[in-house]
Amino acid sequence: MHEEAIRKADVLIEALGYIRKFHNRFTVIKLGGSVMEDPETLRALLVDVVFMQTVGLRPVVVHGGGKAISAAMQKAGLQPTFVQGRRYTDEATLGIVSEVLIEGVNADIVRHINKYGGRAAALHPRTTSCLSGSRMTLAGEGGTPIDLGRVGEVADVDTMTIENLCLAGIVPVLPSLAVCREDEGLLNVNADTAAAAVARHLRAEKLVFLTDTPGILRDRNDPRSLIEGLTPEGCRELAGQGVIDKGMIPKVDACLESLEAGVRKVHIIDGRLPHALLLEIFTDRGIGTEIAKAGAIAKGRLPAATATVTATASAR
Ligand X SMILES: CC(=O)N[C@@H](CCC(=O)OP(=O)(O)O)C(=O)O
Q: Among residues 61, 69, 199, 252, which is the contact residue for ligand X, using CB under 6 A?
A: 69
Q: Which of residues 93-132 bind ligand X (CB under 6 A)?
A: 97
212 binding ligand ADP? (CB under 6 A): yes
313 binding ligand X? (CB under 6 A): no
- Residue closer to ligand ADP by CB (options 46, 216) is 216
22-40 b/e with 16+ CB inside 10 Å = b? beeebbbbbbbbbbbeeee
- Which of ligand ADP, ligand X, none is residue 310 near (CB under 5 to 8 Å by kind)? none
**Shortest gap between Cβ of 114 and ligand ADP (angstroms)?**
24
First-to-final CA distance of the chain: 32
Q: Which x/- pattern over 251-290 shows residues binding ligand X (rule: CB under 6 A)?
A: ----------------------------------------
Q: Among residues 43, 119, 220, 236, which is the contact residue for ligand ADP, using CB under 6 A?
A: 220
229 beta partners: 290, 310
Q: Among residues 216, 254, 287, 309, which is the contact residue for ligand ADP, using CB under 6 A?
A: 216
**Shortest gap between Cβ of 95 and ligand X (angstroms)?**
12
**Shortest gap between Cβ of 167 and ligand ADP (angstroms)?**
29
Positions at the binding site for substrate: 65-66, 87, 188
Point out which residues bind ligand X (CB under 6 A).
Answer: 32-33, 64-66, 69, 86-87, 97, 151, 176, 188-191, 247
Q: Contact residues for ligand ADP (CB under 6 A)?
A: 32-34, 64, 66, 211-213, 216-217, 220, 243-248
